[in-house]
Amino acid sequence: MTTTFMINSICDHSTKITASLNGRVIDVTIESSCGKIMEYALLIKKLAIKEIARDIINNPIYIKASESRLEPNCLVPCGVAFCTWAEAGLVSKNLLSRMPAQCIVFKKE
């Protein structure tokens, strides 16, 4: 079985993230209209479950995003984290079905 997330970014790029559990390793496939994301995708094709559960500073999802020089406001690494966690069973797909979108909302004061 696989898990798929879609990211529509403020920079007008769209990204599809797919994760497939293969034993204790998660295969990650990313399709994006952003060249920087496609370079990042090459660095995170396979992630061990024990790696994705690490805190942010030690997590390869975010380390490789930094090495790829992704902007701090890029939503794709967070999407990769959600997708891999869901595929590994670390976050409930039932919960995700009830709340299918995570949003960052700008509030003009």
Is residue 36 situated within a structural domain? yes
CATH of the domain at 21: 3.90.1010
Residue 33 lies inside a defined structural domain of this protein: yes
DSSP 70: -
Note the pLDDT of residue 104.
Answer: 81
| pLDDT tens, N- to C-terminus, the chain (109 residues) | 899 999 998 899 999 999 999 999 999 999 999 999 999 999 999 999 999 999 999 999 999 999 999 999 999 999 999 999 999 999 999 999 998 788 888 899 8
pTM, 2 dp:
0.93
Q: Is there a domain that residue 12 lies in?
A: yes
Which pLDDT does position 103 carry in this prediction?
81
Is residue 107 included in any domain, yes or no? no
Q: Map tokens 């976050």 to a residue.
A: 91
Structure-token pair, residue 37: 């994301």
- The residue segments making up the domain with residue 78 are 2-98
CA distances from 99 to 5, 55, 75, 95 (A): 13, 24, 17, 6
In a domain, 108, yes or no: no
**pLDDT for res 106:** 82
Look at strands 25-32 and 14-22 and give their pairing.
Answer: antiparallel
In the chain, how many domains are there? 1
